Structures are given as structure tokens and as C-alpha cells.
Amino acid sequence: MLSTGFELSAPLRRPLPTEDYGHRVQRIYPEPTADLDPTGVYFDDDRPAPPGRPWVVTNMVASVDGATAVDGQSGNLGGPADRQIFKALRGCADMILVGAGTVRAEKYRPPRSPAEPIAVRRAARGQATRPRLVVISASLNLNPEASLFVDRDPEDPPPIVATVTTAPASRWANLDSVADVVACGETQVDLNGLLAVLDDLGAHTVLCEGGPDLNHQLFASGLVDELCLSVSPQIIGGVETNARSLLTGPVLSAATRLRLDRVLTEDGFLFCRYLVS
């Protein structure tokens, strides 16, 4: 075979910048500003909860051509500022909602404590030190010895696992000691019902971290208030990488109209905040 000396997968594996980057984040919309601290900016955003349910923010990273995973994970799409914004959004949230597919693919861990200034501001708002994880799964195919269940801070309540009444009883029993397992539907979790439960538990802001299957249901049900989309400056192509778009599922019965609220940039990335109008 003719060798070109060029590895197709190399661009996906480029080393991520490691230098201090925080002061290089700039706002380019609405008013251009340099040297911005995204952590404070995201924390200060207004998030008025609609009646009966929390405000729902969806946060995703995608390549310019719309891929949300490379080799089954999102990590190769991110960068330092993307991770900073990921943490900033976690710093705002009372609860983090995630599909079981993402938990299995990304090896979820318990949320870490936010940096000191955010910790102080969370306490002042009456928020818990760390957001609580809420995993959605009909199959309950979740390892009860996984880090997200066993490594949590003893101060924190266990993660919530939202499931269905028809979930396998043996898996339910295995998870019962490490999670609060709640049924919100017979064969599919009813997302309106689940959000009402989270509202009753005091959640004001719920951060959804995907994946595309869960995103599709949330958008289809009109339950997303804010989309934070990090656009990674890469073209991935879909066939060999199992790349998927932001939403996986049938065409929505009506397109969701988004209003661009803000765009930040760093190292070729765009960090777009959209509000559902």
C-alpha cells in the first residue's frame, strides 16, 4: 500500500493547549469585550424558572460540522475554555440531568466543588455546595460500583436515578443503596413529571448535559429554556467516528426558534448562549 505518511486520525488527537487561558476569553456578541471571566458571566445570567418546573439549560460541544462525539466520547472536541464553561455551568446548577447513554460512554463522576468565589455565591443563593446528579434510565443498566455512585462526598445526597415502573427489579435493588431511584412513567420517563419532581425537591436550575437522545426529547417537549453550545473548530465527518448531532431522533414537529444571547470566543472556539424564544 502506498504510504502518504499522513494519519487521518491525527487532527482529532492534537494536544490541547495547557497554558493559562482564562484571560484570553473574549466576548464578541453583543458588545465586544476582552479579558472576560466566563465563570462569573454564566453565574450572573438570569434564569427565571417557568411555573411548576426548573429552568433547563442544555450544554453541548459540537464540531463545526455538527459532530458531538469522536470515537464515542465528547472529550476530543473540547478545549480548556470549553472545560471552564462546562464547570461554570455546573457552578450555576442545582441539578445535572444526564441520559444513561452518556453516563455509560463518559464514565461520569460525582460533581466536584466549584472554585471558591462560586462556592461563596452559591451559599449566598442558598444552593447546595455541589449540584446533584440525576440520571435517566429505563433499563437501569448502570454499574452501582461506578464512581458517580460510590465516590460522592458524604455531605451530598445520593444521585437520583429516574426510571420506569417496568425496570428490571434486580437492577433496581442493586442501585437502591447508592441512589434515590424514582419511577416517573411505565416504559419511558415522563420528562414533565420528572421536572416537576425536581422542582418539588427545590431545583431552580437544571443543567442537561445530554446526550443527543435525551436532548431530542427535551426539545420535542418544549422543555429547554437555554442552549449553551460550544463550537469546536474542527471538521470530523460522520461515518467512521460515530459522530452524532445535537439531537438524535425524528424531525421535530415544529422547529425550535432560538435567540442568540451571547457569543464568547477563545482559541478558535465559539461559545454561544441561545435562549428559547
Please report, as ranges, the residues that interact with ligand NAP according to CB under 6 A.
Answer: 60-62, 68-69, 72-74, 77, 99-102, 105-106, 136-139, 141, 188-189, 191, 209-214, 217, 244, 248
Report, in Å, the least distance between residue 164 CB and ligand NAP. Answer: 6
Q: Which is nearer to ligand NAP, 101 or 127 (CB)?
A: 101
> Residue 25 is which amino acid?
V
Report, in Å, the least distance between residue 77 CB and ligand NAP. Answer: 6
Q: Which is nearer to ligand NAP, 137 or 205 (CB)?
A: 137
Q: Which residues of 157-168 are buried (b: 16+ CB within 10 A; e: fewer)?
A: ebbbbbbbeebe
Q: Which is nearer to ligand NAP, 138 or 196 (CB)?
A: 138
Q: Which is nearer to ligand NAP, 92 or 127 (CB)?
A: 92
Report, in Å, the least distance between residue 120 CB and ligand NAP. Answer: 28
Report, in Å, the least distance between residue 193 CB and ligand NAP. Answer: 10
23/161 Cα distance (integer angstroms): 38
